[in-house]
Amino acid sequence: MKLAYWMYAGPAHIGTLRVASSFKNVHAIMHAPLGDDYFNVMRSMLERERDFTAATASIVDRHVLARGSQERVVDNILRKDKEERPDLIILTPTCTSSILQEDLQNFVDRASIVSDSNVIFADVDHYQVNEIQAADRTLEQVVRYYLDRCRRQENLDQFVTDAPSVNIIGIFTLGFHNQHDCRELRRLLRDLDIEINQIIPEGGSVEDLKDLPKAWFNLIPYREVGLMTAIYLNKEFGMPYISTAPMGAVDIAEWIRQIHKNVNTLAPSSSSKKVDYEPYIDGQTRFVSQAAWFSRSIDCQNLTGKETVVFGDATHAASITKILAREMGIRVSCAGTFCKHDAEWFKEQIQGFCDEILITDDHAEVGDMIARVEPSAIFGTQMERHIGKRLDIPCGVISAPVHIQNFPLGYRPFLGYEGTNQIADLVYNSFALGMEEHLLDIFGGHDTKEIMTKSLSTNIGLIWNPESQLELRKIPRFVREKVERNTEKFARQKGIGTITVEVMYAAKEALSS
Amino acid sequence: MPVKIDETLTVECETGNYHTFCPISCVSWLYQKIEDSFFLVVGTKTCGYFLQNALGVMIFAEPRYAMAELEEGDISAQLNDYEGLKRLCIRIRKDRDPSVIIWIGTCTTEIIKMDLEGMAPKLEWEIGIPILVARANGLDYAFTQGEDTVLAAMAHRCPEPEFPVRERKEILQKFFAFPSKKKEELAEYVNHSSLVLFGSLPSNVASQLNLELRRQSIKVSGWLPAQRYTDLPSLGDGVYVCGVNPFLSRTATTLIRREKCELIGAPFPIGPDGTRAWIEKICSVFGVEAQGLEEREERIWESLKDYLDLVRGKSVFFMGDNLLEVSLARFLIRCGMIVHEIGIPYMDKRYQAAELALLRDTCIKMCVPIPRIVEKPDNSNQIRRIRELQPDLAITGMAHANPLEARGISTKWSVEFTFAQIHGFANARDVLELVTRPLRRQKNLEDLGRTTLVRKNNKF
């Protein structure tokens, strides 16, 4: 048992639901008590999703506790099958249902005999894995299910495409700037003359999964989700994969060179057309991305040696640390991640780019570290933004968990060359604001003349009796002044000298009419 | 045109596959209401994730609530629950020094049968802070019912009344009361049994209701819950109690059965019609003739005129998730709206009897048929019905709001009614402010066209 106010990664079923609802025509059924379908709210609100989220609950209530789910789960699966005609139904356990130890696999087996849809049971352990790990596992499970089935039916077409092509694995709903990153990757690949075979799970169809092996190789932009699938495809079909995140100019170049290597080794030996991407990298780095120039400009010079702290998921925290240290000359005093399961990789990546490494999922520990280091800027999640607010340190948000403002309508990728521009803006703006504050402090604010009167109401001759004063104090601060003004105005109009609670509410009624 | 009205009121029941908030969400408003409390939710990551996301900004304001997050060892009983809770509660005492710690039992504690009620008194004795237990879990309850379980637990901790002392005090107060020319300011109380109101309201709404009753010379001796745990009202034989919210049926039952109080069954003070009926009922119980209520209600209706013009003749569909639905529907029918369906998670016909009667009377008065009341609704059936009925407004949870808007159905998030100030005469306008907001927005955007923003081949 531990005392917890906040968590970085959600429970496992959220990960499963994110994968399920990213695919087209896949329905998730949660075995959960009333109220556990909060995922639907998040998707509808944060992603501003126009469609009903294809996730429903098979409710666990008192009766289920007493007698088991019996026919209920099977009935719910079959009902969804009839109503929505999905390609796939994923039965998802929740932490509540997993302690009940009902044989959910058995329900799935029974339902799949009758239903037209495929039915699978999400194989995740709620007390072992978190949201991110569960998403990774579920995606692999779905891919494996469809490829195994194809192989059993012996209609697997393993011929690769003529032109070089890739699968992008791991773009999905509620991911940090995933939609924008996806668009940026498409653009990059088009520039490199590489076709996209499939993007999964976002917008993908499970019926098309059988064509995954047609691609030459796989791209895993974020190592949190998709790596398991890539390793599976590598083992079963010998498909190579690139798990570097193309974030920051140096890593993008590295990523393109890996693509280059893969394309050239896999290109049929007969074809003499070997690709060379170096001129492309050079042109983009120097002129399309402004980041390289920005690093040389005097703006960035002012940032030299400034201290920062970076915290987030493994992919984003590692990439941002490298960008700050390597590409902008900013000192990263501490870099950390809450992806404890991927700690080794993370440490290896940022070795030499920061003074200190923190691996924890306890936000209090992160807060203490930030308070101790006192950096000029923080790059972290929404939690770090709030820690920063409390400590008066600016913060740029670079990773999930996120808030509605991290689902911008405008184009804000983190990956690719446009991504480097966005990151440079984010970094620069965080620091610039911090500097401005600091300078204001030194020179005592913008406005050195003291403001004499704050209130526009003249409170001559009006007495608030103790009771009404108390009542006034109960009113939330942001409207209190307005209420005070309105009440006094009302009292003056009516010729009332002493303001009582009655007068206050009479004023409210009079004004609202 | 005369409408044939079916005067019977029936409650249908569907599958219970509907979206609502988990009842543990009650900590969000209760920790703010009860200033010296600390809420400890004993549950899993799922509960924590819900609180964290649903309460958004409040998480960062150093809230007086936290999760006791159960780990695998707790579930398989390898760890000692008592020692675990003791460790956390001692830390809470050290960090916050609350006057009461409230343990919120969840689905998980139910399933693993953690004996919270058994451990609480022992630990309370050991660490010297009162510990209450409320089982606000999703297996049994929906959303606002969470408050019901907390208040029911709290009712047991209310002190016994000391009648003689109290009466003497009142007499003294009357003697030394400040003399004033205005009669209203010096409202003398009639001699009546003590009256305690139950239901958590923002303190200024509570004092508005106190004031309304003071105008009728009725004194409110206390509220359950009070602003501080240490100010809980006296309860016992001969104390009259009256609810202000429709979801407090367990609390009402506890007050009657365990605390031997008399329950005043009244409609709830939501909307001017409800407020008037609520006051009148209380007055009638104490044998007081209500003064000036008719004019007062009339004045309020008068002041709502601009909003009434907007809603008149418009239709509304309640999907149901917070148990305020019957009272709101009754008010909106009185405003001239047509209610297609009242979805509601749970219907206590006894506790809501007076409210249901007022709903029936209102329908007859307004010449509209009594809407169907659907308990434990099924959201996918409801969405089908919404598609057929095309209501002007659907009052619904956030899971369905954006998808319905994209299909040209105006929505209002039901959760807002739980957090807004909707009780009493003075707040009637706030209810209509919420209800008309989507209608006003629609009016503003009317000329833009393109009300449906989904592709044609999408299912509704």
| ipTM metric | 0.87
Would you call A44 and B19 a contact, using CB atoms and an 8 Å cutoff?
A: no
Residue with tokens 């940090």: A176
CB burial of A395-414 (b: ≥16 within 10 Å; e: otherwise) equals bbbbbbbbeeebbeeeebbb
Nearest to B226 by CA among B208, B246, B207: B207
Residue in B31, B53, B89, B112 to test binding to A, most A beta-carbons within 10 Å: B53
pLDDT band at B60 (very low <50, low <70, confident <90, very high): low
Which among B22, B75, B88 has CB closest to A3? B88
Considering only the beta carbons, identify the residue of A3, A13, A126 that sits closest to B66.
A3
Q: Which residue has the higher pLDDT, A207 or B76?
A: A207
Widest CA span in chain A: 99
Distance to chain B for A277, nearest Cα, Å: 40
Peptide bond into A401 cis (omega under 30): yes
Give residue B184's pLDDT: 46
B55-64, B304-313, B321-330, range with the lowest pLDDT: B55-64
All residues of chain B having their beta carbon less than 8 Å from the beta carbon of residue A65 are 110-111, 139
CATH 1.10.8.550 residue spans of chain A? 463-512
Q: Which residue of A has its CA nearest to B50?
A: A38
Q: Is B261 annotated as a binding residue?
A: no
Alpha carbon of A221 to those of A200, A226, A280, B117: distances in Å? 12, 8, 20, 50
Q: Which of A11, A128, A500 sits opposite B44 (nearest CB)?
A: A11
**Nearest residue of B to residue A14, measured between CA atoms:** B46
Picking from A7, A41, A59 by the largest number of B CB atoms within 10 A of its own CB, the best residue to mutate is A41
Structure-token pair, residue B391: 């209501």
Name the closest residue on chain B to residue A384, using Cα atoms: B60
How high is the pLDDT of residue A512? Answer: 67
Question: Which amino acid appears at position A368 of this protein?
Answer: D
* Rounded CA separation A125/A94 (Å): 9
Going by the DSSP 8-state scheme, the letter that residue B37 receives in this structure is: E
Residue indicated by tokens 């609802």: A21
Tell me which DSSP letter residue B401 carries.
Answer: H
pLDDT at B359 over 80: yes
C-alpha to C-alpha distance for B338 and A179, rounded to whole angstroms: 42
- Rounded CA separation A222/A262 (Å): 19
Q: Which residues of A are annotated as a binding site?
A: 36, 434-435
Alpha-carbon gap, residue B314 to A297, rounded angstroms:
61
Residue (of A430, A481, A483, A489) closest to A462 by Cα position: A489
Which of A417-421, B20-24, B190-194 is predicted with the least confidence, judged by mean pLDDT? B190-194
Closest Cβ–Cβ partner in B69, B138, B459 for A35: B138
Q: CB A35 to CB B23 under 8 A?
A: yes
For residue B156, the SS3 value is coil
pLDDT band with cut points at 50, 70 and 90 for residue B186: very low
A244 DSSP 8-state letter: -
Residues 6+ apart with CB under 8 A from B455: none
pLDDT tens per residue across span B262-279:
999 999 999 999 999 999
Which letter does DSSP use for residue A168 in this model?
E
Q: What is the pLDDT of residue B289?
A: 92
Virtual torsion, Cα B70, B71, B75, B79, nearest 10 deg: -100
Helix (H, G, I), strand (E, B) or coil at B209: helix
Span B388-414, mean pLDDT?
A: 93
Q: In this structure, are residues A40 and B19 in contact, taking their beta carbons and an 8 Å threshold?
A: yes
The reported pTM is 0.88
Q: Does A435 touch chain B (CB under 8 A)?
A: no
Domain A165-273 is in which class?
A: alpha beta
| Type and span of the H or E element at A179 | helix A178-191
Please report the pLDDT score of residue A431 as a whole number.
84
Nearest Cβ partner of A5 from B19, B66, B302? B66
How far is residue A115's CA from residue A79's CA, in Å, rounded to a whole number?
9
With CB atoms and an 8 Å threshold, state whether B71 touches A48.
no
**Residues in chain A within 8 Å Cβ distance of B48:** 4, 6-7
Does the CA dihedral A162-A164-A169-A173 come out positive or negative? negative
Amino acid at B263: L
Beta strands (DSSP E) in B70-138 are 100-105, 131-135
Which pLDDT does position B190 carry in this prediction?
83
Q: Which residues contact A391 (CB under 8 A, 6 or more apart)?
A: A370, A371, A374
The chain A residue lying nearest B60, using CA atoms, is A386
d(CA B106, CA B108): 5
**Quick check: A96 and B44 CB within 8 A?**
yes
B68 with A500: Cβ contact below 8 A: no
Query: By CB neighbour count within 10 A (0-12 exposed, 13-18 middle, 19+ buried), where does A272 fall?
Result: exposed
Check residue B246 and report its DSSP letter. Answer: T
The single-letter DSSP state of residue B233 is P
CA atoms within 13 A on the CB side of A339: 28
Was B367 annotated as part of a binding site?
Answer: no
pLDDT at A457: 46
CATH fold for domain A463-512? Helicase, Ruva Protein; domain 3 (1.10.8)
pLDDT of residue A392: 85
- Residue B13 annotated as binding? no
- Identify the weakest region by mean pLDDT among A398-412, A472-486, B280-294, B383-397: A472-486
CB pairs under 8 A between A and B: 188
* CB-side neighbour CA atoms (13 Å) of A100: 25
**What letter does residue B76 receive in the DSSP assignment?**
T
Which domains are assigned to chain B? 11-15+291-448 (3.40.50.1980), 23-141 (3.40.50.1980), 195-286 (3.40.50.1980)
Q: Per-residue pLDDT for chain A (513 aa), expressed as one digit of tens each?
A: 888 888 899 999 999 999 999 999 999 999 999 988 899 999 998 888 899 999 999 999 988 888 888 889 999 999 999 999 999 999 999 988 888 888 999 999 999 999 999 999 998 988 889 999 999 999 999 999 999 999 898 888 778 888 899 999 999 999 999 999 999 999 999 999 999 999 999 999 999 999 999 999 999 999 999 999 999 999 999 999 999 999 999 999 999 999 999 998 887 755 556 788 999 999 999 988 988 888 888 878 888 888 999 999 999 999 999 999 999 999 999 999 999 999 999 999 999 999 999 999 988 899 999 999 999 999 999 989 988 988 889 999 999 887 888 899 999 999 999 999 999 999 998 887 666 766 666 665 555 444 444 444 445 568 888 888 888 887 777 677 788 888 888 888 888 888 888 888 888 888 765
Vertex B347 angle, CA B345 and B353, to 5°: 150
Q: Which residues contact B216 (CB under 8 A, 6 or more apart)?
A: B279, B282, B283, B288, B290, B291
Pairing mode, strands B220-224 and A2-4: unpaired
- Residue that has been written with the tokens 């693993």 in this structure: B112
List, by residue range, all CATH 3.40.50.1980 domains of chain A.
Answer: 12-129, 165-273, 292-443
Is the CB of residue A182 less than 8 Å from the CB of residue A196? no
Helix B398-406 vs helix A38-46: crossing angle, to nearest 10: 40
Q: Which two tokens stand for residue A311?
A: 């915290």
Residues from chain B that touch A486, judged by Cβ atoms under 8 A, are none
What angle in degrees, to the nearest 10, is found between the helix axes of A12-22 and A38-46?
Answer: 50
In the sheet that holds A241-242, the strands lie side by side as: A195-201, A165-171, A217-219, A241-242
The Cα-based distances of B107 to A58, A62, B43, B44, B153 in angstroms read: 15, 10, 7, 9, 18
State whether residue A56 sits within 8 Å of chain B by CB: yes
Q: What angle do CA B381, B387, B393 make, to 5 degrees?
A: 105
**CATH value of A292-443 in 3.40.309.10, 3.10.150.10, 3.40.50.1980, 3.30.930.10:** 3.40.50.1980
Known catalytic membership, residue A299? yes
Cβ separation A38–B207 shorter than 8 A:
no
d(CA A22, CA A24): 6
Annotated binding residues of A for substrate, as ranges?
434-435
Specify the CATH number of the domain A12-129.
Answer: 3.40.50.1980
Average pLDDT, chain B: 89
